[in-house]
Amino acid sequence: MTEIKAKGYLSPLTEEAKTNKWLYLKEWLCTTDAKRIGVLYLAFSAVMGLFGGILSILIRIELAHHGPVLFADPSLYNALPGFHATAMIFFFIIPAFTGAGNFVVPIQIGAPDMAFPRLNLAAFWILPPAALVTFFGFFINSLPEFGWTGYPPLSNNVYSGMLGADFWVLGLVLVGVSSTMAAVNFLATIFNMRCKGMKLFQLPLFTWSIIVTSFLILAATPVLTSALLMLTFERMFPGVFHFFNPAGGGDPVLYQHLFWFYSHPAVYIMILPGFGIISSVVQTFSRKHIFGYVLMAWSMMAIAVLGFVVWAHHMYTTGIALEVRVGFMFLTMLIAVPTGIKIFSWMATMWGGSLKFDTPMLFAIGFIAMFTLGGLSGVVLASVSVDIQLHDTYYVVAHIHYVLVAGSMLTLFAGLYYWYPKVSGKMYNEFWGRVHFWLTAIFLNVTFFLQHWMGVAGMPRRYYDYDPQFEWANMISSGGAVVLFLAQLIFVANLVWSWKYGEDAEDNHWYGDGIHLEWMVPSPPDHHNFPEPPEWKPIIRQHVSADQPGGLWHRQQ
Amino acid sequence: MSAQDGSVMEGPGPGEESLGVTNGKIGMWTFLVMDAMTFAGILAGYARLRWTPDSMWPFPIDAFGVIGIQLTALNTFILICSSVAMVHVLAEQMRGNMDRAEKWLMATIGGGLIFLGIQAFEWTHLIIDKFHLLMDAGYNQNFPATFYLLTGFHGMHVAVGVIYNTIILMAIRRGRVTKDHTSTVEIAGLYWHFVDLIWILVFTFVYLI
């Protein structure tokens, strides 16, 4: 038995675990160290991301030609988009950001750990069983076909009587419980456990984004839970509960209101931590303080507040009053203002900076460009008259993928490459990192760009088959999707290989330009982050151009 | 982190920069935000179903009768008294009088149990004698559905609160919560007052207007 040689928080806690890898594994699975839990979250979300990716490949292969390609039975196909979305949203993006937050936030605020370490572990351990429950339909061959939205009446017991649908609903409730537990933990940690000098408006923007995201989770997720509870009651006791059934005095649109009251803020839950990551990456690789720090924090809060009053823009075609729709259109377009503040502040941060184009920065710049496109197609969809035409077409698919793949996923990659030296103590392979970036950036556009056109030309989403005129575009899109998926295997292989064989990383790895506390501790950090509570020297966040004194990075001591 | 010194304190404490309260209190407050939003979702659904033209929603007086509303008003009073008793638990604990704190806590738990008992009696009565008559009279079928969902979900919270308070009671008896652990009691009190507050909303929406 070889001895486990690992540094920092990766090292075994007891002497026995040093020679016994089962004890070491047990130590990991029962850990209350936020850093290890963060790595567990990331590993879990990577598995679920690959699973969701495989589902998307199955969808795209089926759509490569018109007519049946892969599935003789359309009902299996019908189930896939919903499960792809469920896997990606609830089990990939959200846990991945929770994982990044778990690792980084306690260190960034100078705390030894999260406020409730055991709650933290419990929140993680709800996820794998929740995934099993959510996807249980795959094991018993009873997959619901109502998409990830689960609108009644399609999702009631008459049209979706299968057991798999009940498991899906239950699984989503469990995921909600897990993410609210994590949110409670983050808020208690960030509000109460900051080190000396770390005032709220000294917090790194990633930590700010986790605060805002946690509030979004706290306020939005329970509303989805209440909608799912009502749906479950209606499915289980159809003679008694008629919340969404007009025959019993219910209202199917009520479900949509409750669902989108969660699911619109959910897109900000999926993008705000990414904004925080980009703010960290851009300033490090520009060697400049983030431009407009205070406004960057407030614009995130503005996005969060506005995010709660725009949900009906998903429901323009449900017959709600025109005045209401116009109001929601106005509020939706208003979100472009704080988002624009963020985009321009990132660009202003880069302006005149000493730019370094390492993989994290490539992903950050790719994100800014692509997310702007996704944001603009969002403004198009926000307009009532246009949306009535585009509703439930591939334009919506293109928009959401530009926002979530080109948005959340690119930020996630930027963050993973950026903090990888810190997490593992090793350096990933820069060449393959760049290959991963360029393949992702190119094939993401190959996959999704033509879908805008398909949508405008009238191809509906979620359908098993389509008009032959869309065949060439779908073929390109499917080809792009396969390459895009394969490119992600490079990423996984790169990180896994480097974990063992990579070169040792330095403490402040990125040219010594990291200024937040996570770069002041060893790579990888020790079990309790800091040998003694650190003290944060407040940053004076003045806007000085890069060639002036104080404009470049290093704070005068 | 796993080292336990026999007290109920757990996890790391506040840092240099904090809000001046314990971590647990922020945890409970943020949890209550979440819980309030769950009730908000259900109450919004209730409002939407009820205040729709031609919803055929019965007036509370028709559905429950004068006696029914009065019984539930008594129940509300009992729950509020239980909340007051919880305040006394903390007050006595801060004075260092753990015997009296224990007795007040028993009164708190008793109040919760009486509330649950009356509610169970009421549910039984409504199921057996009342709601089928309303349905036969052509009222909206979602009236009982939302009634069960709201009062049931709240009742579940009361049950959880009773268990929570019982755990605190046992901890006091075993000396694991002493006069120094006021924050443990205060946090349990926050939850209990919240359940009380939610009931006042539910009572107003379902029984009064």
pLDDT recorded at residue B3: 37
A259 by Cβ neighbours in 10 Å (0-12 / 13-18 / 19+) ranks as: buried
Phi then psi dihedrals of residue A490, to 5 deg? -60, -45
Residue B10 has pLDDT above 60, yes or no: no
Output the CA torsion sign for B169, B171, B174, B177: negative
Q: How far is B174 from chain A, CA to nearest CA, in Å?
A: 23
> Residue ranges of the domains in chain B?
23-51+65-208
Level-2 CATH architecture, domain B23-51+65-208: Up-down Bundle (1.20)
**B127 interfacial to chain A (CB closer than 8 Å):** no
Mean pLDDT of the A241-255 span: 91
Mean pLDDT of the B44-73 span: 91
| CB-CB under 8 Å, A118 with B11 | yes
Residue A7 has pLDDT above 90, yes or no: no
Contact B84, B147 (CB under 8 A): no
| CB-CB under 8 Å, A249 with B140 | yes
Q: How does residue B11 score in pLDDT terms, banded at 50, 70 and 90?
A: low
Residue A240 has pLDDT above 90, yes or no: no
Q: How does residue B4 score in pLDDT terms, banded at 50, 70 and 90?
A: very low
Beta strands (DSSP E) in A98-141 are none
Greatest CA separation for chain B: 65
Residue-wise pLDDT tens digits, A32-67: 999 999 999 999 999 999 999 999 999 999 999 988
**Calpha distance A172→A156 (Å, rounded):** 16
Task: Name the residue among A67, A40, A33, A39 with its Cα closest to residue A467.
Answer: A67
Residues of B in contact with A240 (CB under 8 A): 141, 144-145, 148
Q: How does residue A238 score in pLDDT terms, banded at 50, 70 and 90?
A: confident
**B141 interfacial to chain A (CB closer than 8 Å):** yes
Residue B54 has pLDDT above 70, yes or no: yes
A438 or B8: whose pLDDT is higher?
A: A438
**Calpha distance B108→B103 (Å, rounded):** 9
Q: Which residues pair with A535 in a beta bridge?
A: A196
pLDDT recorded at residue A542: 62
Residue B8 has pLDDT above 70, yes or no: no
Q: Write the ipTM.
A: 0.91
Residue B1 has pLDDT above 60, yes or no: no
pLDDT recorded at residue B6: 36
| CB-CB under 8 Å, B145 with A219 | no
| CB-CB under 8 Å, A258 with B15 | no
Residue-wise pLDDT tens digits, B152-167: 999 999 999 999 999 9
**Calpha distance A551→A287 (Å, rounded):** 9
Least confident interval from A411-415, B64-68, B76-80: B64-68
Q: Which residues pair with A460 in a beta bridge?
A: A393
Residue-wise pLDDT tens digits, A397-443: 999 999 999 999 999 999 999 999 999 999 999 999 999 999 999 99
Phi then psi dihedrals of residue B36, to 5 deg? -60, -40
Task: Name the residue among A181, A179, A145 with its Cα closest to residue B30.
Answer: A181
B46 or A541: whose pLDDT is higher?
A: B46
Structural domains in chain A, sorted by start? 31-519 (1.20.210.10)
| CB-CB under 8 Å, B56 with A249 | yes
Q: How does residue A543 score in pLDDT terms, banded at 50, 70 and 90?
A: low
pLDDT recorded at residue A5: 80
Residue B45 has pLDDT above 90, yes or no: yes
| CB-CB under 8 Å, A233 with B145 | yes
B residues 2-61 closer than 8 Å to A (CB)? 2, 10-12, 14-19, 21-24, 26-27, 30-31, 33-35, 37-42, 44-45, 48-49, 52, 55-56
pLDDT recorded at residue A544: 60
Give the one of B15, B48, B149 whose C-beta lies nearest to A194's C-beta.
B15
Residue-wise pLDDT tens digits, A272-305: 999 999 999 999 999 888 988 999 999 999 999 9
Residues of A in contact with B154 (CB under 8 A): none
Residue-wise pLDDT tens digits, A139-166: 999 999 999 999 999 999 999 999 999 9
Mean pLDDT over the full length of chain B: 91
Residue-wise pLDDT tens digits, A170-219: 999 999 999 999 999 999 999 999 999 999 999 999 999 999 999 999 99
Residue A2 has pLDDT above 50, yes or no: yes
